Amino acid sequence: MGKMIYLRRISVFIIGYLIFVIPSYLIFMQYKHTKVLDDSNENEKYLDKYIETRTLLYSEDSMRGRTFSTLQNSTIAEDNNTIFSKDNHKKSQVSYPRILCWVMTSPDDLLRRTIHIQNTWARHCDIDLYMSSEENKTFPAVGLNVTEGRNNIGMKSKASWTYIYEHYRDKADYFMKVDPDSFIIIENLKHFLTDYDPSAPEFFGHIFNLNGDTKKKYMAGGSGVILSQESLKRLVTIAFKNYTWCMPNGQAEDFKSGYCLGLVGCTPMNTTDSKGRERFMVFNPKAHLIGNYPEWYLRYDSNNGRIKGINCCSDFPIGFHYIKPDELYLLYYLIYNARIVDDKILLREDAKPMKDLLLKDLNKVVIGQKIAKLTPLQKKMNEIYGKARKQAAVKQESLKNNSHALS
């Protein structure tokens, strides 16, 4: 009798439990399904916003002649220095990469040219440094233990990269070396670099091929050479410490830097836009618009100087070189201060396309023609490259043997 009562109670409990749990479960699943639909709609909304944003950012026609900085006060970004992220299709903020800019200068050049860099576009860098042979606390300039002079540029560049790694390696994502006659549009540079990872061994700029040799790639120095965090680390901690030819003193430090970066597995990245136009210009804007390039440029340039005239350069340029002090202020005014009312370009419908009336006739120059006689500097660079390649092979063999011995 007692057993029957016990079984009856158990049955009542189970039936009651099922009566309570099953409806609750059904209600929960209905709520969850509704929530998923709501989240899906929300994600689609932000994905649409992201696609719309990226379309506007990359549109070559919608912002012709304007820098990316003009977007920062628009509805595309909720606040300065941010864009929408597609991660998980959610509305989140991604900061632009931090840029450290350093200018190779000298005591005599601080007030002649470098001060005008400091007074114009360098204010847009997250950090700006001025590397000299003597310290100047007023300017300020970093004093390096090097000898001044053009023939000591290699030593100064090596000392500068080492100093920056030792004091600033965690304070920026990318590190850019420029000259006292460079002009950089930092907003366009930051926008360009958002598609890359500072932890990847990559470096950026205008690609040159030494004497036209596509196996000897490096970045032209004047319009900006940008190293990622990982590239800076490898250059200083591996290349400088393990290879005697990284970097020898003397001129052509841009090639030497590129060669040393290649030794430690860093990749020179293509920086042209979707139309093949340059973002980093070796000369001033006028030189590229006229297209009267020197013969050496036609050999060294990865495009052999074929792109020139009105469509010479990207609509979102990043760097120019050989800019005089007064031209720094002119460019700064035209890029950052001048505006078109309501951002409307009023060109009548029957207006003819602009012609390259200033473009020089360079048909007499044979693109890619091999020069029989090399300049002394070219001969020296070939000699340096040959010695460095032999030394690298010996070093790599030594490291390989040591690794086998340890194993």
Number of folded domains that form the chain: 2
Q: Are residues 142 and 64 in the same domain?
A: no
Q: Are residues 77 and 161 in the same domain?
A: no
Residue 258: give its domain's CATH number: 3.90.550.50
Domain of 107 in residue numbering reads as: 100-343+354-392
User: Is a pLDDT exceeding 90 seen at residue 370?
Assistant: no
Please give the torsion angle defined by the CA atoms of residues 380, 393, 156 and 207, in that order, rounded to the nearest 10 degrees. 70
Phi and psi (nearest 5°) for 83? -140, 170
Q: Are residues 115 and 183 in the same domain?
A: yes
Give the residue from 72, 95, 118 where a domain finishes: 95
Q: Are residues 168 and 154 in the same domain?
A: yes
CA geometry: angle 321, 297, 204, nearest 5 deg = 55
User: Is a pLDDT exceeding 90 seen at residue 50?
Assistant: no
For residue 3, what pLDDT band results from cuts at 50, 70 and 90?
low
Q: In this structure, is residue 349 part of a structural domain?
A: no
Give the residue from 70, 95, 120 where a domain finishes: 95
Residue 3 half-sphere exposure toward CB, CA atoms < 13 A? 0
Q: In this structure, is residue 348 part of a structural domain?
A: no
Q: Are residues 222 and 186 in the same domain?
A: yes
Query: Does the predicted TM-score (pTM) go above 0.85?
Result: no
Q: For strand 174-178 and strand 207-209, is the pairing parallel, antiparallel, or unpaired? A: unpaired
- Taking only the tens place, the pLDDT of each residue in 161-219 is 999 999 999 999 999 999 999 999 999 999 999 999 999 999 999 988 877 777 778 88
Q: In this structure, is residue 339 part of a structural domain?
A: yes
Q: In this structure, is residue 404 part of a structural domain?
A: no
Task: Look at residue 397 and give its three-state secondary structure.
Answer: helix
DSSP-H helix ranges across 83-172: 115-119, 153-168
Q: Are residues 178 and 305 in the same domain?
A: yes
Closest CA to 211 of 365, 372, 364: 372
Give the residue from 35, 60, 95 where a domain finishes: 95
Helix (H) or strand (E) holding 104: strand 99-104
Q: Are residues 220 and 82 in the same domain?
A: no
Q: In this structure, is residue 259 part of a structural domain?
A: yes
- Taking only the tens place, the pLDDT of each residue in 101-111 is 999 999 999 99
